[in-house]
Amino acid sequence: MATIQNQRPLPPAWRWVRLGEVIAEAQPGFACGARDLKGVVQLRMNNVDTRGNMVWKEFIRVPAEESVVNEYQLRTGDVLFNNTNSVELVGKSALFLGFREPVVYSNHFTRLRALAEQLDPQYFAAWLLHQWQLKVFENICNRWIGQSAVKNDKLLALGIPLPPLEEQKRVAAILNEQIAAVERARAAAKALPAAYLRAVFSSPEAQQWPGRSLRDVTTRITDGTHQPPPFTRQGVPFLFVRNIVGGQIDFSVDNYVSRETYEKLTERCSPERGDVLYSAVGSFGVAVVVETDLPFTFQRHIAHLKLNHGVINPFYLVWYLNSPAGKRQSDSAALGGAQRTVTLKSLGDFVVPVPNLEVQNRLVDRLSGQMVSAGRTRKAIEEESDAINKLPAALLRRAFSGGL
């Protein structure tokens, strides 16, 4: 790690300082294994992503005395630094912008509170993201098996380029504007497929289609093997529920079975082109059409639907099961806690709107074209997003040369 003296030259009025000189507080959090539905919100590693955002989709509550809450409560403008994680993820950080109730944080984080008169929190959070992208924290962390940690002394010894406070705010504002624009575009592109499906299956026309149970439009509903088979290094691919992703089957697997094992596992019901697979456990509710004649087999977490092709188009059925209406049925049917499950019986009870095959085929053609268009849009956004994810480094490099 370069010393402050050996850092690159900066524009006039900028200076290199050790991070510890502009930090008022570097406070590690606290561990708590207990849960309390009426307790205080405690942030964990999953509540900070790798783009510098807080993730509020899912959080836990823990019991905590008032004195503990007072000591570890986050304030608007605090930066959470992930001090302990895998080597690849250690050091991811996010700016806390407030929440509707008090929030504390686990011992996997360090709360960094900037000296307000010297360091702008948004500029600081962007700089930390830049350091994470450069793998600075990966290089200075202490490593153990499966885990790494960045100690406070190493973190606070890092050199940070410090422009005047107003310049910090200007750089941060540019970053925020650019990243927010891409996040909005990404969210819109991500929502397109669901919007297309909603337009079909929530339309007045769809309300007139007869509803039939999934059991009525299939000839068989079963699942994969319930016992782990003997695996081989090559042979017939063996799928797990994680291989049912992105609207298709991912055959880039690590596990295979012999041809003999495959024939034993599928002697009663083998997957064939035109069948539908459905993730039923854990990441439940994702349907895909089998579009290959190559042999494969799978675990019990995947449901296997043989269709009555004279009644229902497999692609139409998959579009419906993956639509918001289909998702509502899967969410309602799923049982359990940590690993929710859609049973084969409840799956058979799903009600599917079934127009005649001519209408189904027309809708499949329409939706297929829309999804291709949505995929192109999303790919373009992701490519732009990749550039934006590198923007902090680009902007800071430009700022170092006086180019902003």
What the block records as the tokens of 16 is: 């290199």
C-alpha torsion sign, points 99, 104, 106, 109 = positive
Q: Which helix (H) or strand (E) holds 37?
A: none
* 4-162 and 210-354: identical CATH topology: yes
φ/ψ region of 104 (left if φ > 0, alpha if ψ in -120 to 50, else beta) reads: beta
Cα distance between residue 276 and residue 289, in whole Å: 5
Q: DSSP states of 376-396 as a string?
A: HHHHHHHHHHHHHHTHHHHHH
Query: In the block, which residue shows the tokens 């490099």?
Result: 397
Strands 103-105 and 40-43, bridge-based pairing? parallel
Degrees to nearest 5, angle at CA 110 with 106 and 111:
100
Query: In the chain, what's the furthest Cα-to-Cα distance?
Result: 77
What the block records as the tokens of 83 is: 């001090």
Hey, which bits of 72-146 come out as E strands?
79-82, 84-85, 93-95, 103-105, 109-114, 142-144
Total count of residues recorded for the chain: 404
Domain 210-354 indexed as CATH 1.10.3720.10: no
Cα distance between residue 204 and residue 88, in whole Å: 50
SS3 content of the chain, % helix, strand, coil (to 5): 40, 20, 40
Find the radius of gyration of the CA atoms of the chain. 26
Cα distance between residue 232 and residue 286, in whole Å: 27
pTM for the full predicted model: 0.59
Tens-digit pLDDT string for the chain (404 aa): 555 656 778 888 888 999 999 999 999 999 998 999 899 999 999 999 988 899 998 899 999 899 999 999 999 999 999 999 999 999 999 999 999 999 999 999 999 999 999 999 999 998 998 899 889 999 999 998 879 999 999 999 999 999 999 999 988 888 778 777 767 777 777 777 888 888 888 889 989 999 999 999 999 999 999 988 999 989 999 999 989 877 789 998 889 999 999 999 998 889 999 999 999 988 889 999 999 999 999 999 999 999 999 999 999 999 999 999 999 999 999 998 768 899 999 999 999 999 999 999 999 999 888 888 877 877 776 666 666 556 555 666 665 555 66
Tell me the sheet residues that pair with 105: 43
Cα distance between residue 129 and residue 17, in whole Å: 18
Contact between 106 and 82 (Cβ < 8 Å):
no
φ/ψ region of 402 (left if φ > 0, alpha if ψ in -120 to 50, else beta) reads: left
Hey, which bits of 29-101 come out as E strands?
40-43, 60-62, 79-82, 84-85, 93-95
* Phi, psi (rounded to 5 degrees) for 310: -80, -10
Contact between 348 and 276 (Cβ < 8 Å):
no
| Of the candidates 34, 133, 42, the residue with the CA atom closest to the CA atom of residue 91 | 133
The one-letter amino acid at 128: L
The full set of domain ranges for the chain reads 4-162, 164-204+356-404, 210-354
H, E, C per residue of 181-214 = HHHHHHHHHHHHHHHHHHHHHCCHHHHCCCEEEH
| Fold classified for 4-162 | Adenine-n6-DNA-methyltransferase TaqI; Chain A, domain 2 (3.90.220)
Query: In the block, which residue shows the tokens 């192109």?
Result: 376
